[in-house]
Amino acid sequence: MMAAAQKPQSRQPEYRDGHGFIAEIIRTNRRKSADIRVEDGAVSVVVPVNTPAEKIDQLLAAKRRWIKEKITLHREMTPASSKRYVSGEAFSYLGRNYRLKVETGNFAPVKLLNGRLVVTVPNGTEQPHMIRNALVRWYKRQAEQKLTEKVNRFVPVVGVEPAGVGIRTFKSRWGSCTAKGKLEFNWQIMMAPNRMVDYVVIHELCHLIRHDHSPEFWREMARVMPDYQRCREWLREYALKLSI
């Protein structure tokens, strides 16, 4: 099995309150300076392993205006959601609906407990935004784990070896296969039923054989997944509902 698609090492999530946003702290040996990122409206700070929390707080305070501008820009560009991010609201994970449970307090990442998606966030006007970001982070973590596992499961069936697996946000596709053979998946596919997720994984693996949608490509799909057409049609019909 290729090393690039092995199960990601688990690390304990670390967060800092930026007063109006929550920043995820990612510690790494591969950096000598800090790097702030705002993706999907969520803030993350990549720092050297031993960076003190106080220094991270100082950096967030210094860059607060820039971060808030980026968050606001993302909100303005994101289509309006019908979600209110309140307790009792349903969110789909692998085709099953789970009810959101919002608790008030110091921020804690989403946990799936007793059939509920539980998130703890401070009270205030920013609460819905923080809840959405917490959910996005949770879905991305599930996608990183589950999609890597599925790739490893289907690699010997398809008979290919991808260069790696990545999780991204795509506006109008579920995945892609790069010219270098890396598979990239849209984290939102985790809202679809399990078989649809299998379809997307197999689809991108088959692109390592045929990098087009020729009859030969679909023959490979049918060989590995005889019911692929049903999954393809399901995703076309329900794509717009797979969003938060």
| Residue 9, pLDDT above cutoff 60 | no
For tokens 């995945």, name the residue: 175
Distance CA 207, CA 205 (A): 5
| Residue 180, pLDDT above cutoff 80 | yes
| Residue 6, pLDDT above cutoff 50 | no
Domains defined for the chain, CATH in brackets: 142-241 (3.30.2010.10)
DSSP reduced 3-state for 42: strand
| Residue 20, pLDDT above cutoff 60 | yes
At 160, list the tokens.
């290919």
For the chain, give the number of residues. 244
Structural contact between residues 37 and 23, judged by C-beta atoms closer than 8 angstroms: no
DSSP reduced 3-state for 99: strand
Taking residues 181-205, report their average pLDDT. 98
Could you give the angle at which helices 127-158 and 194-206 cross, rounded to 10 degrees? 60
Point out the least confidently predicted range of 10-19, 138-147, 204-213, 231-240: 10-19
For tokens 């784990």, name the residue: 145
